[in-house]
Amino acid sequence: MGCAISGLAAKSEFAERNTDDAAAHPSEEQIQMIKDSWKVIRDDIAKVGIIMFVRLFETHPECKDVFFLFRDVEDLERLRTSRELRAHGLRVMSFIEKSVARLDQLERLEALALELGKSHYHYNAPPKYYSYVGAEFICAVQPILKEQWTAELEDAWKTMFQYVTSLMKQGYQEESARQRHLAVSPKERPDKRNTAL
């Protein structure tokens, strides 16, 4: 496909930059660039969501295993017309929209991303896939933004996705630890003391 970031080197660089536990928050200038570009992207929200996931399944077919409904679908044209994929794409785009709106409200953005990471633990969607979505989003919006797309804007979106996915990974890990703790029997829990007399 025509996206520069869809090359393996660019995607692995995107994923590697995303592995830091404390990813940087976008700068004020980047936030403004993201918000301005979102005004254009928003008009094609359903299209971007579908393109993003079809590309994700093309470039990383192993990701389909996380999605029960799409696991066995080999025909990409069926995916493009799938109501379920459209609905999921819209949910992801809604999360991106909320993230953009909260870029200057860090506590709210952090809470949103942490909760999404925790819920992804229950969906059995491991953190290794999160950065792929950001890379495919960037590829999907480039043609929509046309000449407005710049290297600086790409960096701004990458920074936002790296920040949000680092929070999602943290939420996933917190929920994983919480579930492991709950699975330990009460007798084995170090913080539970028998106070019965």
Could you tell me the pLDDT band of residue 196, with boundaries at 50, 70 and 90? low
d(CA 148, CA 163): 23
Share of the chain above pLDDT 90, in %: 62
Decide if pLDDT at 184 tops 80: no
Which residue is associated with the tokens 């080999």?
Answer: 74
Most confident region among 15-19, 77-81, 92-96 by mean pLDDT: 92-96
Domain-embedded: residue 95 = yes
Domain-embedded: residue 54 = yes
Q: In this structure, what CATH number is given to the domain that contains residue 118?
A: 1.10.490.10
Tokens of 34: 């993201």
Task: Note the residue count of the chain.
Answer: 197
d(CA 100, CA 141): 15
Q: Could you tell me the CA-to-CA distances from 25 to 12, 98, 159 in Å, in that order?
A: 21, 16, 7
Decide if pLDDT at 8 tops 60: no
Q: Decide which of 188 and 146 is more confident.
A: 146
Host domain of residue 37: 28-182
Domain-embedded: residue 71 = yes
Model's pTM, two decimal places? 0.82
Domain-embedded: residue 9 = no
Domain-embedded: residue 70 = yes
Q: Decide which of 70 and 164 is more confident.
A: 164
In three-state secondary structure terms, 3 is coil
Q: What's the CA dihedral at 80, 86, 91, 95 to 10 degrees?
A: 40
Work out how many domains the chain is built from and give that number: 1
Q: Decide which of 82 and 159 is more confident.
A: 159
- Tell me the pLDDT tens digit for each residue of 98-157: 999 999 999 999 999 999 999 999 998 999 999 999 999 999 999 999 999 999 999 999
Most confident region among 8-12, 81-85, 170-174 by mean pLDDT: 170-174
d(CA 80, CA 90): 13
Domain-embedded: residue 168 = yes
pLDDT at 20: 45
In three-state secondary structure terms, 24 is coil
Decide if pLDDT at 13 tops 70: no
Domain-embedded: residue 142 = yes
pLDDT at 42: 95
- Contacts of residue 5, Cβ cutoff 8 Å, sequence gap at least 6: 11, 14, 135, 138, 139, 154
CA angle 166, 168, 169 (to 5 degrees): 65
Domain-embedded: residue 98 = yes
